[in-house]
A and B are shown apart, each in its own frame.
Chain A
Amino acid sequence: MTLILGRKKGMTQLFAEDGTATGVTVVEAGPCVATQIRTQENDGYDAVQWGFEDVRESRTSKPRRGHFKKADVAPKRFLREERLSAPATIDVGAAIDATVFEVGTLVDVIGTTKGRGFAGTIKRHNFSRGPKTHGSKNYRAPGSIGCSAYPSRVFKGKRSSGHYGDTRQTTKNLRIVHVDAERNLLFIKGAVPGANEGFVQIQTAKTGTRTPKKR
Chain B
Amino acid sequence: MNLIETLEAENGKDVLPAVHVGDTVNVHYLIREGEKERIQIFSGTVLSIGGRGIRKTITVRRIVQGEGVERIFPLHNPRVQEVEIARRGDVRRAKLYFLRDRVGKKTRVKELLGEKARRERSRDESIQAAQAAAAAERAASKPAAATEGEE
* Residues of chain A at the chain B interface (Cβ within 8 Å): 9-15, 17-19, 21, 26, 28, 182, 185
Across-interface contacts of B53 in A (CB, < 8 A): 12
Bound-state CA distance A26–B77 (Å) is 19
Interface flag for B145 (CB, 8 Å): yes
Binds A, one of B3-11, B14-22, B113-121, B125-133: B3-11
Interface flag for B61 (CB, 8 Å): no
Residues A10 and B4 in contact, CB atoms below 8 Å apart = yes
What is the total of A-B residue contacts with beta carbons within 8 Å?
39
Q: Of residues 93 to 121 in B, which have CB atoms within 8 Å of A's CB atoms?
A: none
Residues A182 and B8 in contact, CB atoms below 8 Å apart = no
CB contact between B54 and one of A9, A12, A182 (< 8 Å): that residue = A12
Bound-state CA distance A15–B79 (Å) is 9
CB contact between B78 and one of A10, A15, A182 (< 8 Å): that residue = A15
Interface size for B (C-beta < 8 A) is 19
CB contact between A21 and one of B4, B30, B77, B149 (< 8 Å): that residue = B77
Across-interface contacts of B30 in A (CB, < 8 A): 19
Looking at chain A's contact residues, is the secondary structure mostly helix, strand, loop, or mixed?
A: strand
Residues A13 and B146 in contact, CB atoms below 8 Å apart = no
Bound-state CA distance A200–B145 (Å) is 27
Across-interface contacts of B74 in A (CB, < 8 A): 15, 21
What are some 10 contacts across the A-B interface (CB < 8 A)? A10-B2, A10-B3, A12-B4, A12-B8, A15-B11, A15-B78, A26-B7, A28-B3, A182-B145, A185-B3
In the complex, residue of chain A having the shortest beta-carbon distance to the beta carbon of B148: A182
Q: B1-42 CB contact bits vs A (8 Å, 1 = yes)?
A: 011100110010000000000000000001010000000000
